[in-house]
Amino acid sequence: MKKTLLFIILVVLLCASCTNNHEIKVTHEDIDDISLTLDSKSESSNGLNFVLKLQNNSRYIIKQNNVNLSFPIKIDNGTKGNDFKIESKGNKLDIHPGEELFLTVFAPMEMYEGNNNIDLDNPYIEINGYINEVEGIMHFHKGGGYKTMEDF
């Protein structure tokens, strides 16, 4: 009985001490090496056109991501977030280290025309994605006003 108990304890300790040496250790620095910036903004007769530049300067593949643009809502003492977001076009899966993409966003004039509560001059851009594999622990998010994101 004692030998069996000792054997079970030994097996449990051995299993608990085993680690996967191939486990990826994503750091804040890796996330900092993923940048999203507003490359250009232009106006057409139908609305506003934006080009966003996504650069993966991290050590890992961005497996999946969504890039969105929204316009803050003006309030008496500043602005607040807007839940209405426009998803970018031209995105893809598996963005490798060193790769950059140019994504486009179109905001139709009907969305903002005559609405003085929308801050068109300071769009909010954000990326939600996964590093190396689509699992909760590998999720990341970066976002902010485009002026803030220039230094990200």
pTM of the model: 0.77
Q: For residue 99, which phi and psi values (nearest 5 degrees)?
A: -90, 150
Is the Cβ–Cβ distance between 67 and 36 less than 8 Å? yes
Query: Which pLDDT tens digits describe the chain residue by residue (152 residues)?
Result: 656 655 566 555 555 545 444 466 777 888 899 999 999 999 999 999 999 999 999 999 999 999 999 999 999 988 888 899 999 999 999 999 999 999 999 999 998 988 999 999 999 999 999 998 888 888 899 888 876 555 44
Exposed e or buried b per residue across 25-46, where buried means at least 16 C-beta atoms within 10 angstroms of its C-beta: ebeeebbebbbbbbeebeeeee
